[in-house]
Amino acid sequence: MLLFLLAAGLTLIFGMLGVINFAHGAIYMLGAYISYETGRRTGSFLMGALVATLFTALVGAVVEKLTLRPLYERPHFYQLILTFGLILVLSDLVRFFWGPGYQEVPIPQLWSGTVDMLGSTIPMYRLFVIGFGALISVGLYLVLEKSTFGMLVRAASSDAEMVRILGLPVGTIRMAVFAIGCGLSGLAGSIAAPLFPIELGMATNTIIDCFIVVILGGLGNIRGAIAASMLIGMVRAIGYVYMPGWVDIMTFVLLIGTLLTRPQGLFHRTARTA
């Protein structure tokens, strides 16, 4: 589910803006560090998550406004490459403020227990992550498909020129989408913070995982992303039990196979274009 939270932002940005955001992993890392810092100062996990989400969304808005806006009209690879530059900048900024070492965030007290389910013991926090991910996915779906804002976003992605002629601020809509995407990633970072050590490698390692989910689900397809993150999660879980050490390779083989046979993703439906 964590994977979904992460991939949701990436797929949202691609689906609605056509931009592949390489810096997504870096934003995720930033979110984790921010929540660590806020949590350390205020002692509240909730506060940390909130600040991390808002801050990364703000970063996203600024980045979109300053760097991506001049690039929409150019070939796609410029955006790909530009966001690669962003990784370098964000990573070094984080290193500047927090240093190169590992940081840890304690599991919030409310969720620190364990639950017995189906004969095995499961940490409460993991259940919380699952529930929270489900909540976000439903929320995202509702916002995109049912609300006026969602309609605007979809309109702007299918025909920006027309929306502009109708007098609506396409630039602002795009900025909002990018900000939401980054905010989701930052949120994922803060949620992940208690589960994994926080480190600089997050920026370049997680993005590969995100890509896998997003490609398997079909670029820009939110429902596909949900299904794909579950699929990857299952493949990994089973892989760890039966063939530890081959898990990463299995994921990549799955990915490459998908790209070759169904580049539009495993869960693509031609009848509907998101």
What residue ranges bind other proteins (CB under 8 A)?
Answer: 20, 67, 70-71, 74, 76-78, 80-82, 84-93, 95-96, 204, 208, 211-212, 215, 219, 245, 248-249, 252-253, 255-256, 259-260, 263
Nearest CB to other proteins, comparing residues 26 and 177: 26
Largest CA-CA distance found in the chain, in angstroms, rounded: 60
Which one-letter DSSP state was computed for residue 116? E
Nearest CB to other proteins, comparing residues 81 and 238: 81
The CB-of-253 to other proteins minimum distance in angstroms stands at 8
Q: Which 3 state secondary structure label does DSSP give 198?
A: strand
The CB-of-176 to other proteins minimum distance in angstroms stands at 21
The CB-of-20 to other proteins minimum distance in angstroms stands at 6
> HSE (CB half, 13 Å, CA atoms) of 170?
18
Which structure tokens are listed for 97? 């403020």
216: nearest Cα among 237, 231, 194, 234: 231
The CB-of-199 to other proteins minimum distance in angstroms stands at 15
Q: How crowded is residue 118: how many other Cβ atoms within 10 Å of its Cβ?
A: 5
Sign of CA dihedral 41, 47, 52, 54: negative
Nearest CB to other proteins, comparing residues 80 and 165: 80
Nearest CB to other proteins, comparing residues 136 and 203: 203
User: Rounded to the nearest 5°, which phi and psi values hold at 103?
Assistant: -125, 155
CB-CB contact of 210 with 7 (8 Å)? yes
Nearest CB to other proteins, comparing residues 93 and 107: 93
Nearest CB to other proteins, comparing residues 86 and 105: 86
CA 162 distance to own-chain centroid: 29
CB-CB contact of 49 with 187 (8 Å)? yes
Give the Cα-Cα-Cα angle 201, 184, 1 (nearest 5 degrees).
Answer: 75
